[in-house]
Structure 1
Amino acid sequence: MSSYVDTTLVSPYADIMTGQSITLARSLPKLGAAVRRLRSDRGMTQAQLAEAAGVSRQWVVAVESGSKHGLEVGLVMHLLDTLDASLMVRDDRPDDAS
């Protein structure tokens, strides 16, 4: 495979990734901790975040505690968008795995 990269095909999002804080959230408790940290960093209360995201405060509490099983991905994405954050999916397989 060529090491040449067609820069017209590279997302402009890659340009803003440098220096960004990335939190690995491989479990619901880690996702909840990341949401709690982001909310706190933005100076928001759970009630303020819930209102801005259009969800209940109880839902935010459950997400932050890591106890909300069966999360609707669309709601999580909307919550993260409200916090000016995003979700990244990374392939954790070793390079030599088939």
Structure 2
Amino acid sequence: MLAYDDIMDAGRTYPARSLTRLGQAIKALRRERGMTQADLADAIGVSRQWIIGIEKGTKERAEIGLIMRTLDELDASLLVRDDSQEEQ
């Protein structure tokens, strides 16, 4: 058992080891919630272009606070896992 298993629930996880994968996860969650890019942008107070950049993984200097607000609006969270630890 990995050390973080005790805080994980039965929900799905999206491995996001790159900006592209984080963007794909945000896009998938947004679509599952029935939201357009404009809906999400309005809800968190950013432009639709910002959402497009995040979803494409091209927003390299995205403020972490905005990422967290985006995830919060999608009822999702960010999990940091120590991948250097191998199962024993």
Provide TM-score, normalisation by structure 2: 0.87
Matches within 5 A, 1:69-88: 69-88=60-79
| Unpaired segments ≥5 residues, structure 1 | 1-13
| Unpaired segments ≥5 residues, structure 2 | 1-6
Is 1:65–2:56 an aligned residue pair? Answer: yes
Matches within 5 A, 1:4-83: 14=7, 17-83=8-74
User: 2: CA distance between counterparts of 1:20 and 1:94?
Assistant: 22
User: 2: CA distance between counterparts of 1:64 and 1:36?
Assistant: 6
Q: Which runs of 4+ in 1 moved over 4 A?
A: none
Provide TM-score, normalisation by structure 1: 0.78
**CA-atom RMSD in angstroms:** 1.7
Q: Secondary structure at the match of 1:23?
A: coil
User: 1: CA distance between counterparts of 2:53 and 2:9?
Assistant: 31
Counterpart for residue 8 of structure 1? none
- 1:19 is displaced (CA, Å) by 1.3
Give the number of the structure with larger relative contact order, counting CA–CA contacts within 8 Å between residues 6 or more apart. Answer: 2
Counterpart for residue 80 of structure 2? 89
- Quote the sequence identity (%): 54
